[in-house]
Structure 1
């Protein structure tokens, strides 16, 4: 075999993974006749049948079942190599996934600085609380909040965070000062259901975890409700520092607890050191280093 019949192998994978000639043709955007021709040429080249056809039903022969995994691996590696070459430059599109709360409360006010420093990088942000699957997306990197140790990615820690309750001045004036954790325990707290608060409840008591105001289930809405005087929100320093400085929110009690979780910059190994990925990572590290921790 003097050369690899890539078109025929690609056609074989499309049909074999769907067990349908029509489905393979649709996936490749070609006619069923073209698909049949490619499969017939590949079978003639190999000297063995790859499919059994029973009317509209299609099954793989033993040879077809043996060939499919290798073809899928090979095509996957080719796609990966082509993508790495296409992305391996210092400018162009940079796709990064992150939590919406981090984008709106910490990153957004600072983003103009990145665009000014790197006008050749087209930063595109995908907001999602779910952990991005790099193998099934076009994301180059992500900012994650967690304990680290994620498989399949390289990671660098960006910053620690702290947990604290916040509320509006109006709420505090109406409901009076809170002088102790015991008094705070009597109040309903607004917070997102998550293990990220474990450090707080180890200090203040697990029983307070049950006194959760469950109407809202996302960080931004909870902070907005707190700002509007609806109650006390349990939040993180990174999300509320600017609001506290602007006096849109206040601290009803001085207690603050260092979180078990931290911010991390993560990327697949083959993207981690791309110039544009490194530029955004280094910019984040620089700006987090300037971000003052709570007193």
Structure 2
């Protein structure tokens, strides 16, 4: 009821309506036994007020949006944020300390209402402007213990070992079947472990559960520290790059950040 929404008594609402009708010199409602309905004058006033409130709401939203334009919002998967994006923020802030960055983790849907988003795939398929971040080799990775347990030294040794498969709703990661086909090998026959989060896939590989595919540029820290190692010398050129999508709402600061990421 109107009185509840306005936090006043029903009597107060009736008094205000009556005062308005007296001011206008005509009724705004036809009062009936089972309720009320707008008169022609009431309907005209309702439409005008509705349009006015919509205009006010839109103006307030534009003012808020303009106020937030100094900041930059960027969406990425958990893996991309943790492995690649977050480590670069400190360097960006040293050069541009006045630009605030908001990271949104989005693993299961298309990013919306952000300035920028990071994807793995074909940037030419996007309607928006894009920046390629990197494209490199895809390696078969696992722990030293896993390699020793299964006796892995060459490509053929991977055909029957447990493999970890990552299936994400946002980034359709390159799969093992494609990796083997590119290297002219038949599809693997070993047991598979299917996960929908790449960081969990990496953790499973660290726990010696199976081999996982990894992008050399994305997983440099894992390789340098020895947490995972390249199981065989063979590798596949990445069919797609990781790229930055610049959404239509992107501000000047968002474009500054996009250019900086593409350079670094």
Cα separation, 2, equivalents of 1:233 and 1:140: 32
Cα separation, 1, equivalents of 2:120 and 2:94: 26
Q: Is the 8 A contact 1:98 1:125 kept in 2?
A: yes
In the superposition, the TM-score normalised over structure 2's length comes to 0.71
The structure 2 residue matched to 1:192, chosen from 166, 183, 208, is: 166
Instruction: Report how many residues are paired.
Output: 246
| Partner in structure 1 of residue 140 of structure 2 | 165
Change beyond 3 A, Cα 1:183–1:210? closer
In the superposition, the TM-score normalised over structure 1's length comes to 0.65
The CA deviation at 1:201 is 4.8
Matched, 1:251 2:251: no
Cα separation, 1, equivalents of 2:36 and 2:162: 60
Q: Is the 8 A contact 2:151 2:157 kept in 1?
A: no
Higher helix proportion (structure 1 or 2): 1
The CA deviation at 1:209 is 8.6
Matched, 1:283 2:260: yes
The CA deviation at 1:244 is 0.9
Cα separation, 2, equivalents of 1:250 and 1:103: 22
The structure 2 residue matched to 1:142, chosen from 106, 117, 129, is: 117
| Partner in structure 2 of residue 102 of structure 1 | 80
Task: Say which structure, 1 or 2, has more relative contact order (CA 8 Å, 6+ apart).
Answer: 2
Cα separation, 2, equivalents of 1:172 and 1:201: 18
Q: Computing the radius of gyration over CA atoms, which structure comes out larger, 1 or 2?
A: 2
Matched, 1:212 2:189: no
Unaligned runs of 5+ in 2: none
Q: Is the 8 A contact 2:159 2:190 kept in 1?
A: no
Q: CA RMSD in A?
A: 4.3
Q: Classify the secondary structure of the residue corresponding to 2:238.
A: strand
| Bigger Cα displacement from structure 2, 242-251 vs 157-166 | 157-166
Q: Is the 8 A contact 1:98 1:144 kept in 2?
A: yes
Alpha-carbon displacement from aligned partner over 1:229-254 (angstroms, at most 9, x marks no partner) = 22211222233222112222111112
| Bigger Cα displacement from structure 2, 123-132 vs 196-205 | 196-205
| Partner in structure 2 of residue 13 of structure 1 | none
Matched, 1:179 2:154: yes
Q: Is the 8 A contact 1:188 1:213 kept in 2?
A: yes
Alpha-carbon displacement from aligned partner over 1:14-52 (angstroms, at most 9, x marks no partner) = xxxxxx8689x4xxxx448799979xx8xx99x9x9xxx
Alpha-carbon displacement from aligned partner over 1:118-141 (angstroms, at most 9, x marks no partner) = 21122121112132122xxxx322
The CA deviation at 1:192 is 0.6
Cα separation, 1, equivalents of 2:139 and 2:223: 11
Unaligned runs of 5+ in 1: 1-19, 288-295
